[in-house]
Amino acid sequence: MGTSGNPAKAAEAKISSASEFKKKRAGVIELPSGMTVRLRNPGGLRIFMANGSIPNSLMPLVKEALDSGTEMDAKKTSDVVDQDTITEMMEMMDRIAVTCFVEPRCYPVPEDDALRDDNLLYADEVEDEDKMFIFQWVSGGTEDVATFRAKQASNVAALSGQPEVGSSPE
If phi > 0 it is left, if psi is from -120 to 50 it is alpha, else beta; for residue 144 that is beta
Name the DSSP class of 127.
-
- Domain spans of the chain? 35-134
Which residues make beta-bridge pairs with 38? 28, 103
Q: CA of 74: how far to CAs of 2, 148, 162, in Å?
A: 36, 14, 11
Q: What's phi and psi for 39, nearest 5 deg?
A: -115, 155
CA distances to 3, 20, 22 from 132, in Å: 37, 26, 23
∠ CA 146-97-157, rounded to 5°: 40
pLDDT at 24 over 50: yes
pLDDT band at 170 (very low <50, low <70, confident <90, very high): very low
| Identity at 9, one-letter amino acid code | K
The pTM for the full model equals 0.65
Question: What share of the chain has pLDDT > 90, as a percent?
Answer: 31
Q: Count the neighbouring beta carbons within 10 Å of the beta carbon of residue 136.
A: 18
The amino acid that residue 64 corresponds to is E
SS3 53: coil
pLDDT in tens, 93-117: 999 999 999 999 999 999 999 999 9
> 22 with 39: CB under 8 angstroms?
no
Measured from the Cβ of residue 134, the count of other Cβ atoms closer than 10 Å reads 25
Q: Which residue has the higher pLDDT, 6 or 74?
A: 6
Mean pLDDT of the chain: 77
- How many other β-carbons are positioned within 10 Å of the β-carbon of residue 37? 21
Tens of pLDDT, residues 103-154: 999 999 999 999 999 999 999 999 999 999 998 888 876 655 556 556 655 5
